Amino acid sequence: MAISRRDFIVTSALASASALYAEPAPKKYIPPTLTGFLTAPTARPLPFDSKNLIGISERLILSHHTNNYTGAVKRLGLINAQIAALNPDAPPFARGSLAKEALTATNSMILHELYFDNLGYSGDMGLELRAALEKSFGSVDKWQKDFTNIAMSLSGGSGWVVLAYCDRLGTLTNIRAESHNEGLAYGTPILVCDMYEHSYQMDFGANAKAYLEAFFKNVNYKAAENRLTKIIR
């Protein structure tokens, strides 16, 4: 059926009015690329030959490095991608939840790197680290006993024991952390021991004491002393 000139004019006018007053289409949110602190980190290789540890199997240390450490590194990259993709207008709790997850993954990554870096026996303890331990704990034996007691209090569960330098007090102290999100504010880790079950159960079952004995046989005291000297010199 043919359209009259009058109907054509009316229809065109209505279409023009609709276009004039229609709400603009919402802009699509384009997430930024990963920059600054929102990076996708890469896992570091073991700093020692996994076959050369004393009393700790290659199977255990490779599983620990591949599944737990590398897993934390990958998880951090995924969380950072979620943060980058989050709309700035999203509810605050959404950003807060991701911030908590990012802290857990970041600390897990860093603590594992410190742990692996202070393994791989490199000889006896150096004079500078020994003097600092004697000043802070009375003797090296007293420090190791205290460190071990804290570690044993975490056996069967999870956590970390960290020999840390407290800048506020100017001394070394042993820190008990039941999770990745605990630690000493403004404390620098000097020596780290992983007490999560994944770090020893494959070789030692529930015998955390035997694991700790093996741990001390493999401590790289040179790495620990290097961390200390960077602070106090």
Task: Quick: pLDDT tens for 127-155.
Answer: 999 999 999 999 999 999 999 999 999 98
Domains of the chain: 55-233 (3.55.40.20)
Q: Where are the alpha helices (DSSP H) in 86-139?
A: 92-117, 127-137
Rounded to two decimals, the pTM is 0.83
Instruction: Give residue-wise pLDDT tens across range 8-18.
Output: 444 454 444 44
Share of the chain above pLDDT 90, in %: 74
Torsion angle of the four alpha carbons 193, 197, 198, 203, in this order, in degrees rounded to the nearest 10:
90
| Half-sphere exposure (Cβ direction) of 169: Cα atoms closer than 13 Å | 12
119: DSSP letter: B
Q: What is the pLDDT of residue 223?
A: 97
pLDDT band for 185, please (50, 70, 90 cuts). confident
Computed over every residue of the chain, the mean pLDDT equals 88
Q: What is the pLDDT of residue 29?
A: 44
